[in-house]
Amino acid sequence: MSRSANIWDDITAASANRILMLDGAMGTMLQKQQLEEEDFRGSRFADWPSPLKGNNDLLVLTKPEAVRSVHDAFLAAGADLIETNSFNATSISQDDYGMAELAPEIARASALVARAAADAWTEKTPEKPRAVLGSIGPMNKTLSISPKVEDPGYRDVTFDEVKDAYIEQITAIIDIVDAILIETVFDTLNCKAAIAACRETFVAVGYEKPIIISGTITDRSGRTLSGQTAEAFYISIAHAKPWAVGLNCALGADEMRPHIEAISRVAETRVIAFPNAGLPNAFGEYDESPADMTAQIAPWIEGGVVNILGGCCGTTPDHIAAIAKAAATGTPRVPVGPKPTLRLSGLEPFQIAV
For 336-348, the DSSP string reads PPP-SEEEEESSS
- pLDDT on residue 256: 97
- pLDDT on residue 4: 61
Instruction: Give, in order, the Cα–Cα distances in Å from 229 to each of 71, 183, 238, 256.
Output: 33, 16, 14, 12
Mean pLDDT of the 230-250 span: 97
Q: Is 313 annotated as a binding residue?
A: yes
Q: Which domain holds residue 314?
A: 2-353
- pLDDT on residue 221: 84
Mean pLDDT of the 173-182 span: 98
Higher per-residue pLDDT: 350 or 245:
245
Mean pLDDT of the 304-310 span: 97
**Is 27 in contact with 135 (CB distance < 8 Å)?**
no
Q: What's the pTM?
A: 0.96
Please state the domain count of the chain.
1
Mean pLDDT of the 303-331 span: 97
- pLDDT on residue 353: 77
Segment 18-58, tens digit of pLDDT? 999 999 999 999 999 999 999 999 999 999 999 999 999 99
Q: Is 249 annotated as a binding residue?
A: yes
**DSSP line for 142-165:** -SSS-S-TT-TT--SS-HHHHHHH
Closest CA to 55 of 129, 120, 110: 110
Candidate from 1-5, 126-130, 240-244, 329-333 with smallest mean pLDDT: 1-5
Q: 343 has which bridge partners?
A: 351
Neighbours of 333 (CB within 10 A): 20
Confidence of residue 337 (pLDDT cuts 50, 70, 90): confident
- Sequence-ordered list of residues with C-beta below 8 angstroms from that of 47, at least 6 positions apart, any chain: none
Closest CA to 327 of 250, 255, 274, 286: 274
Inform me whether the pLDDT recorded for 103 exceeds 50. Answer: yes
Q: What is the CATH number of the domain that holds 83?
A: 3.20.20.330
Confidence of residue 302 (pLDDT cuts 50, 70, 90): very high
Compute the residue count for the chain.
354
